[in-house]
Structure 1
Amino acid sequence: MDHPLLNRVQTLYERFDPALVEALDQIYSDEVVFEDPLHHVEGLAALRRYFAGLVEGLDECRFEFADALTESAAGQGGQAVLFWTMHYRHRKLRGGAPLRLVGSSHLRFTDRVTYHRDYFDAGAMLYEHVPMLGFVIRKLKARLG
């Protein structure tokens, strides 16, 4: 990808750890709006708190980017969709075993990202890996799928 901001986004997300939390101002505007299937956050300070909480319970987390679709207007910024696979380990999910999640991110930006929305299956990320709840969800998916 040839867009400097999107290159920085991908580089920072290669390791989702405390260093990323400290570097959020390099890629996000002060007024950023961030959404995922579990949360809606407004402002860089709130995003920093949200990510700090996420990092706390992780033993490991990194993103591998597969592709990107970008659109931009001269002098007005643009938008992009990044396709990724998240590789993560959390001590409370599947006993700390390595897990992966496929998703995408829609970004709008000028000199920094002003809007970031993640799309992923929250059940596949979290609920399916909680012992009793995971068993029930996997059984339901098997019946419906």
Structure 2
Amino acid sequence: MIRAQKAVENYIAFFNSLDRLSLNRLTAVAAPNICFIDPFNKASGYDSVMAVLTHFIDNVQTPHFDVKSIAFSGNKCFVSWDFSGVLTASGKAWRFTGVSELTLDGSYRIMHHQDYWDAATHFYEKIPVIGYILRLIKRKISILK
């Protein structure tokens, strides 16, 4: 369990120091066949995941994940976190809460990373026309008015 915990801590540290210079450290904390899934992307392998992370670096300034809790179950780990950063295009702060499901391989490297967070509320609803439509739909189907 100690090796798994250290592996997850190193993976989290990788994300919290993410920039173009540190990007190649992915190979030290993740398996070659890593699968990364978030509300916008599904990438497999170092090259594809690095492309997703490069896009993230280019579009979010000062990203930070404040870890709230970590729970292990076998070779899986669940990490709850608060994210903060600044969107490069607008200069606006971006904050939301989420959970990452991580799966470790036999060498204690991350082979699967799936993020769960509400992209509708924390991203799509902030886009002018789409946001209006989504908020309208949300009001129509909500039982709490």
**Shorter-normalised TM range:** 0.7 to 0.9
Alpha-carbon distance between aligned partners in 1 of 2:65 and 2:18, rounded to the nearest angstrom: 7
Alpha-carbon distance between aligned partners in 2 of 1:128 and 1:19, rounded to the nearest angstrom: 33
Runs of 4+ aligned structure 1 residues displaced above 6 Å come to none
User: Which AA in structure 1 matches 2:13?
Assistant: T
Bigger Cα displacement from structure 2, 128-137 vs 58-67: 128-137
Q: 1:66-119 CA distances to partner (integer Å, 9 max, x unpaired)? A: 0011023xxxxx110101111121133xx3221211111111103200111111
Pick the aligned partner of 1:8 from 7, 10, 30: 10
Pick the aligned partner of 2:126 from 120, 126, 129: 129
User: Which AA in structure 2 matches 1:46?
Assistant: S
Q: Which runs of 5+ in 1 are unaligned?
A: 73-77
Deviation at 1:22, TM superposition (A): 2.5
State whether residues 80 and 106 of structure 1, in contact with CA within 8 Å, keep that contact through their aligned partners in structure 2: yes
State whether residues 107 and 117 of structure 1, in contact with CA within 8 Å, keep that contact through their aligned partners in structure 2: yes
Matches within 5 A, 1:1-145: 3-72=5-74, 78-92=75-89, 95-110=90-105, 111-145=108-142
Counterpart secondary structure, 1:23: helix
TM-score by length of 1: 0.83
User: Which AA in structure 2 matches 1:31?
Assistant: N
Q: 1:27-76 CA distances to partner (integer Å, 9 max, x unpaired)? A: 1110111112222111111101111112112223111110011023xxxx
Alpha-carbon distance between aligned partners in 2 of 1:20 and 1:83, rounded to the nearest angstrom: 23
Change (3 A) 1:53 1:67: same
TM-score by length of 2: 0.83
Deviation at 1:20, TM superposition (A): 4.4
Kindly tell me the number of residue pairs found equivalent between the two proteins: 138
Coordinate RMSD, CA, aligned = 2.0
Bigger Cα displacement from structure 2, 61-70 vs 50-59: 50-59
